[in-house]
Structure 1
């Protein structure tokens, strides 16, 4: 999924920057003299920043100010992953404003929506299982994401659902609340419609397997 070219993700990232305008990002950070010393943000490794901010480098306020930069780097680079960034945000955002927290959620929702719009077989596409695991780092229930999934009655979203059902059956780590939702009658009916619609397509076998497994328990 190329989030750099997705209009919804791009708009959410700009909204994130607007929400944090009261917290200008620092140019330098003071750190433990034995670990980092003074660090210029422009020269810093994003992974080092996200792991050290608020600990041995800078303060929790610095992490807050750098949140738009870190989230953007997690979505457009390869040095830091979204789960790590969201996990650090969740450690500090209890005293942030509603606008700031909602702006983070808006980015998460936009990324999730973009994933569901992208066929799982597309180059570099993430799976729904992997994305849900990353987003879960915020510590919030999956209800909002599942509502977006229900709204997206499209082939790519159906295929993501089928892959999740199959992956979960064979041991992938999935929130039990997501499993319960995926096995509900509404989702089973959705998979059956997708199976009938996509007969002969390369991914038809995955959807057929998901239809068979949707009501099954875990394998022995």
Structure 2
């Protein structure tokens, strides 16, 4: 874990420290009994948390743990965890709590673009991250803007993979699709190919360039 990610987790812990973690969470009286918090099976808890188990305060108390575990293991689904946030109206939470989540997302994104393949736990690639951001009720625009100015081999290789995995026949354009189809992306891939033409991934760059050009 790099320094930015460690700082982001520390900020989360500070922002949510006033919500004590309970060992046993109340369940829906109609469909669930009380549920013990088991750090060895956070995936099951993440599915029901805030739905049939626990309250908003319980989600807040567990959020630093869940977000930490997402960048250190592959056991959680980022879209499930971040998908809890809009249901709990997180953009109405106190500013330090919102800032801590934003800081975490920014740090994860920078770290993901800085390494290839991704070394950020459950965030396996940029598409996984951006899908989770959308599940969290946020626009991906600011993250695409960061990608535009992150000019390194890892970010370019991620870009090529994302283009190569795109279904160009899909008639339902998305913000990501439109961003990838830009002339600036095509030119970037060409420059990346010129720079890395002797590297094993140069064919990925060339294929992505041709797809955008077509």
Q: Please list every run of 5 or more consecutive structure 2 residues that lacks an aligned counterpart in the other structure.
A: none
| Pair 1:116 & 2:121 matched | no
| Pair 1:83 & 2:79 matched | yes
**Residue 82 (structure 1) shift:** 1.5
Residue range with higher mean Cα deviation, 125-134 or 182-191: 125-134
How many equivalent residue pairs? 211
Q: Which residue of structure 2 aligns with residue 102 of structure 1? A: 99
Q: Please list every run of 5 or more consecutive structure 1 residues that lacks an aligned counterpart in the other structure.
A: none
Select the residue among 151, 160, 163 that pairs with 1:162: 160
Select the residue among 28, 41, 44 that pairs with 1:45: 41
Q: Which residue of structure 2 aligns with residue 65 of structure 1? A: 61
Cα distance in 2, alignment partners of residues 95 and 63 from structure 1: 15
Cα distance in 2, alignment partners of residues 86 and 148 from structure 1: 20
**Residue 61 (structure 1) shift:** 2.0
Q: Which residue of structure 1 aligns with residue 52 of structure 2? A: 56
**Residue 26 (structure 1) shift:** 2.2
Q: Which residue of structure 1 aligns with residue 14 of structure 2? A: 18
**Residue 209 (structure 1) shift:** 0.8
Structure 1 length-normalised TM: 0.84
Cα distance in 1, alignment partners of residues 85 and 115 from structure 2: 27
Cα distance in 2, alignment partners of residues 168 and 103 from structure 1: 32
SS of the equivalent of 2:166 reads helix
Q: Which residue of structure 1 aligns with residue 140 of structure 2? A: 142
Cα distance in 2, alignment partners of residues 54 and 186 from structure 1: 42
**Residue 94 (structure 1) shift:** 4.1
